[in-house]
Amino acid sequence: MNTASRYRLQHFIPWTQTKIYTMLVLSMVPTLLFYFFNWKWLAIPWVPVALLGTAAAFISGFRNTQTYNRTWEARQIYGAIINSSRAFGIMVRDFIRVTDKNQEAALHQQIIYRHFAWLTALRFQLREIKSWENVKTRSYNRAYLKYYKVPEWESSLEEELKAFLPEEERQQILSAKNRATQLIALQSAQLRSLNEAANISDYNYVALENQLKDLYDNQGKAERIKNFPYPRQFSSINLYFTFAFCALLPLGFIGEFSKLGEKFGDGIIWLTIPFSILIGWVFLVLEQIGESTENPFEGNANDVPITQISRNIEIDVREILGQKDLPAPITAINNILM
C-alpha cells in the first residue's frame, strides 16, 4: 500500500515506461512510412478508431472497478480480522480462569500466541505466488520491487513460528497443508479441554468458539480472493481491445493530420507521434493499473498491507495481556507499506 499522497513521477514513469516505448513504436513506424514512402493507405477515418476507443474505455473502466472492489473487499476482510482478534484477546483474558494466577497467565499467553501464529501462517499463505499473478512475471513489477521488501519473501514461516509455538506443535503445523486452518483447529481443541475442566463456563465457551468461527469465515473469504483470479475472459478482452485501439490510434491521427497538410504543411503529420503516445499511454496505463490491483495479496506495491496489520494486531493483543515488551510497528519503505 502506498502511504504517500500520490505516486512520484520518478517512480510512476519508469513503472509505465514500457507502455511509452510501445506507443512510440506503434506511432513512429506508420508515420515514417506515410511521410517518406507515401503510403497514403495508412490513413484511416477517425470514426472506427473512436468507436473502438469507446469500447476499450468502457471495458477498461469496468475492469478497474471490479479489481478495485477485490482490493477493497480484501481490506474489509482484514478489518474484520482486526476486530475479531481484539475481541478474542479480551475473551481469552477474561473468560479463561485458573486458580493459580501464574498458570492462568501462561495459559492466556499460549492461546494468544497461537493466534499470532495463525495470523503469521495466514499471511504467508496469502503471499504465495499463483500462476495468474504478475508481481514476479512482469518486468515493470520486478523493477519496482527495488523500492520495497515483502517480509514473507525475506524469511520463512518455520522461523517466524518459533516465537509463538512450542517445537512439537510447530512441527505438527508445518506438516499440514493448510496451516492456518489447523491452528484454529488446535485452538478449538484446547478450548474444549478447558471447558471440560471447568476453566471456561459453557456460555463463555460458546462465545469463544463463535470467535473462532468468525476467524475461519474471514480466512475463507481471503482465500477465495487469493485462489480465484479476476475472470480471464474479462482480463483478456480488456487487453485485446486496448492494444487494438492503440495500434489503430496513430492511423486515425495520420488521417486527421493529413487533412491539415494544405493549411499547415506536410510536417504537421509528425504530431501523430506525440498525440498517439499520450493518448495510448493513458489507455495502456489504465490496463496496467487494473492488472496490478486485481490480486491484493500477491506482494505488489498496491497490496493490502497484511504484514503491517498483523503486527498491529499483535501489539494490541499483547497490550491486552498486559505485556510491556512490544514489537515495533511495521513502517513504510519508500512510502510502500506491506
Q: Residues 294-305: what's their mean pLDDT?
A: 94
d(CA 275, CA 270): 9
What b/e sequence results for 307-333 when a residue is b if at least 16 CB atoms lie within 10 Å of its CB, and e otherwise? Answer: bbbbbbbbbebbebeeeeeeeeebeee
**14 within a domain of the structure (yes/no):** yes
pLDDT at position 12 is 87
Query: Is the residue at 160 inside a domain?
Result: yes
pLDDT at 18 exceeding the cut of 90: yes
Domain-embedded: residue 325: no
- Give the tens place of pLDDT for each residue, 109-162: 999 999 999 999 999 999 999 999 999 998 888 888 899 999 999 999 999 999
Q: Is residue 2 part of a domain?
A: no
Q: Are 297 and 303 in contact, with CB atoms under 8 Å apart?
A: yes
Residue 113 lies in a domain: yes
Residue 275 covered by a domain? yes
pLDDT at residue 143, rounded to an integer: 87
The verdict on residue 259 lying in a domain is: yes
Residue 181 lies in a domain: yes
Given a cut of 90, whether residue 4 has pLDDT beyond it is no
Give the tens place of pLDDT for each residue, 189-240: 999 999 999 999 999 999 999 999 999 999 999 999 999 999 989 899 999 9
User: Which sign does the torsion angle of CA 75, 76, 82, 84 carry?
Assistant: negative
Compute the CA torsion angle 265, 270, 275, 277 (nearest 10 deg). Answer: 180
| Strand partners for 336 | 2, 333
In sequence order, the 6+-apart residues with CB closer than 8 A to the CB of 91 are 204, 207, 208, 211
**Could you read off the pLDDT of 232-289 as tens digits, one per residue?**
898 999 999 999 999 999 999 999 998 887 788 888 999 999 999 999 999 999 999 9
pLDDT at residue 257, as a whole number: 92
Total count of domains within the chain: 1
Range of the domain at 146: 9-320
> 166-184, pLDDT tens digit by residue?
999 999 999 999 999 999 9
